[in-house]
């Protein structure tokens, strides 16, 4: 059984996250899942009074995703981790390590992908 999630799109993600923040939800983390050769699942996990809410965003590989670090600053760390591990690019990251949170300069692969993706170079802010 899949976990109960609310499906969002790139266009509605930030608004949905903002709504959760205004309602007092705490961000727990985000999870990236390599679905197949073409898509990732991004699942955002939130908590309020020990209840959880999950938002699911299915995105094509290679396409940038809006960052939610403008809403929850804490998300910058997990978004940078996903950038490192899966090669997904986040637009508007509050603090962008540009694929170097964990990885050294010479690493050009996306180590957590079953199906490799071409890493897009993002300029450090």
Partner 1 sequence: MAQTILPFGPQHPVLPEPIHLKLTVEDEIVVDALPALGYVHRGLEKLCDIRDYNQMVQIVERVCGICSKIHAMCYCQGIEEMMGVEVPDRAKFLRVIWSELHRVHSHLLWLGLFADAFGFEALFYQFWKIREKVMDINEATTGNRVIVSVNQVGGVRRDLSAEQLRWIDAELKVVEAQVRALRATTLDDYTVKKRTKGIGVLSSAQAMELGAAGPTLRGSGVAQDMRQLKYAAFDRLDFQPISYPDGDSWSRCAVRYDETLQSIDLVRQAMARLPEGELSVKVKGKPEGEVVTRVEQPRGELLYYLKGNGTNNLDRCRIRTPTFANIPPLVVMLPGLELADVPVVVLSIDPCISCTER
Binding-site ranges for partner 1 (CB under 8 A): 1-3, 21, 24, 26-29, 31, 33-34, 43, 45, 47, 49-50, 52, 54, 72-74, 76-78, 95, 100-104, 111-112, 114
Report residue 111 as tokens: 């180590």
Residue 99 CB coordination number (10 Å): 23
Shortest approach of partner 1 to residue 101 CB, angstroms?
6
Q: How far is CA 79 from CA 1, 36, 51, 118, in A?
A: 26, 20, 23, 18
Region of residue 52 (left: phi > 0; alpha: psi -120 to 50; beta: else): beta
For 45, how many CA atoms within 13 A lie in the half-sphere containing its CB?
Answer: 10
Report residue 43 as tokens: 């699942």
Shortest approach of partner 1 to residue 66 CB, angstroms?
19
Shortest approach of partner 1 to residue 3 CB, angstroms?
5
| Smaller CB separation from partner 1, 2 or 106 | 2
| Smaller CB separation from partner 1, 11 or 123 | 123
| Smaller CB separation from partner 1, 91 or 125 | 125
């Amino acid at each position: 059984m899949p976990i109960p999630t609310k499906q969002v799109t790139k266009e509605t993600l930030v608004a949905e996250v903002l709504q959760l923040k205004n309602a007092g939800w705490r961000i727990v983390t985000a999870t990236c899942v390599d679905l197949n050769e073409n898509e990732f699942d991004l699942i955002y996990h939130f908590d309020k009074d020990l209840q959880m809410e999950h938002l699911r965003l299915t995105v094509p590989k290679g396409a940038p995703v809006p960052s939610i670090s403008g809403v929850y600053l804490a998300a910058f760390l997990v978004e940078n981790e996903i950038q490192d591990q899966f090669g997904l690019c986040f637009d508007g990251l509050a603090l962008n390590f540009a694929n170097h949170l964990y990885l050294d300069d010479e690493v050009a692969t996306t180590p957590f992908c079953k199906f490799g993706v071409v890493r897009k170079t993002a300029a450090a802010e």
